[in-house]
């Protein structure tokens, strides 16, 4: 991993900047490999850097006082994190961790704030991103409340699939279980159900998407609204169903 091949414009937010703003921002960007398991920021910790991924996936994880964890949202080259920095906070209440390794450009929190003061399109995009993540969290709340595990898993795989190249996700059941806040064997059996429908193939440490349209159908009620909001406010996100 970690050859520095990606350009900043592979991040959707950076790509949407007009030339002058892009030039102003890019001077402060620092290329950065984000390996699996890397913690971009810990819960309740001071934010040093903000990351704009070009590849890979990060999760926003909320942690309760007793240590229960659940993913509230997920981002890749469509966004940035930790979002709290963009509204002036120096502490992130959520943990942000890398689940699919990739490559990002990072910016010091203080520089981000300076840039937002002088670059209005940049500031606007970041604010929109905060709202889109809020929407995602809201629909995660819905899904957690009303959908059963199979659907929630399908939704989650689709959200990951939107943010990677190819169809392979290197993820263990244990890891998925933490994100969905369910029991690990429940993930195993749910993956079997999806595999039985030929939507995916599941092998040790790997989930392979085979029939995205089928998955979308299966997840139907759980997937889509948050993605609509992203596309309405920022730009294309979803993969076509091929």
Partner DNA sequence: AATACACTGTGCAATAGCGTACAGAGGTGC
Partner DNA sequence: GCACCTCTGTACGCTATTGCACAGTGTATT
Binding site for its own copies (CB under 8 A): 60, 62, 64-66, 68-73, 83-84, 86-89, 91, 93-94, 124, 127-128, 130-131, 133-135, 137-142, 144-147, 180-182, 220-222, 224-225, 228-229, 232-233
Cβ 180 to DNA, closest distance in Å? 8
Q: Smallest Cα–Cα separation from 215: which of 197, 190, 202?
A: 197
Is the distance from CB of 101 to CB of 3 less than 8 angstroms? no
Name the burial class of residue 18, with classes exposed (0-12), middle (13-18) and buried (19+) by CB atoms within 10 angstroms of its CB.
exposed
Q: What are phi and psi of 201, to 5 degrees?
A: -120, 140
Q: In the complex, what is the shortest distance from the CB of residue 202 to DNA, in angstroms, rounded to a whole number? A: 6
* Minimum CB distance to its own copies, residue 1 (Å): 29
Tell me how far apart the alpha carbons of residues 227 and 220 are, in angstroms, rounded to a whole number: 13
Task: Indicate the DSSP class of residue 81.
Answer: B
List the single partner that 24 binds among its own copies, DNA, none, CB under 5 to 8 Å by kind: none
Contacted entry of DNA, its own copies, none for residue 189, CB cut-off 5 to 8 Å set by kind? DNA
Task: Work out whether 35 is an interface residue with DNA (CB under 7 A).
Answer: no
Partner from DNA, its own copies, none contacting 39, C-beta within 5 to 8 A by type: none
Kindly state whether residue 191 participates in binding DNA, applying the rule CB under 7 A: yes
CA dist., res. 233 & res. 55, Å (int):
21
Computed from CA positions of residues 221, 226, 227, 229, in that sequence, does the dihedral angle turn out positive or negative?
Answer: positive
186 binds, among DNA, its own copies, none (CB under 5 to 8 A by kind): DNA
Residue 37 interacts with which of its own copies, DNA, none, CB < 5 to 8 Å by class: none
Closest approach of Cβ 48 to its own copies, in Å? Answer: 18
Closer residue to its own copies in complex, CB, 214/224:
224
Residues 200, 189: Cα–Cα separation, whole Å: 13
CB 60 within 8 A of CB 102: no
Subset of 141-170 contacting DNA (CB under 7 A): 148-150
β-pair partners for 73: 60
The token pair that represents 144 in the structure block? 């957690």
Residues at the interface with DNA (CB under 7 A)? 148-150, 172-174, 181-186, 188-189, 191-192, 202, 204-206
């Amino acid at each position: 991993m970690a050859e520095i091949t990606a350009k900043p414009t592979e991040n959707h937010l950076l790509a949407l900047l007009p030339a002058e703003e892009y030039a102003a921002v890019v001077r402060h960007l620092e290329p950065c490999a984000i390996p699996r398991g890397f913690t971009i920021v810990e819960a309740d910790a001071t934010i040093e850097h903000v990351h704009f991924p070009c590849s890979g996936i990060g999760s926003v994880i909320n942690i309760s006082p007793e240590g229960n964890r659940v993913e509230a949202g997920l981002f890749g080259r469509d966004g940035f994190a930790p979002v709290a920095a963009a509204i002036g906070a120096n502490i992130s209440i959520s943990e942000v961790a890398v689940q699919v390794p990739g490559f990002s450009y990072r910016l010091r929190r203080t520089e981000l704030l300076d840039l937002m003061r002088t670059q209005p399109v940049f500031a606007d995009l970041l604010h929109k991103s905060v709202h889109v993540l809020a929407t995602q969290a809201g629909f995660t709340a819905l899904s957690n409340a009303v959908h059963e595990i199979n659907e929630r898993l399908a939704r989650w795989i689709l959200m990951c699939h939107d943010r990677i190249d190819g169809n392979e996700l290197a993820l263990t059941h244990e890891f998925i279980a933490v994100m969905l806040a369910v029991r690990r064997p429940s993930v195993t059996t749910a993956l079997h159900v999806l595999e039985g429908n030929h939507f995916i193939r599941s092998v040790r440490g790997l989930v392979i998407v085979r029939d995205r349209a089928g998955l979308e159908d299966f997840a139907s009620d759980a997937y889509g609204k948050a993605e609509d909001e992203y596309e309405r406010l920022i730009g294309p996100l979803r993969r076509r169903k091929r």
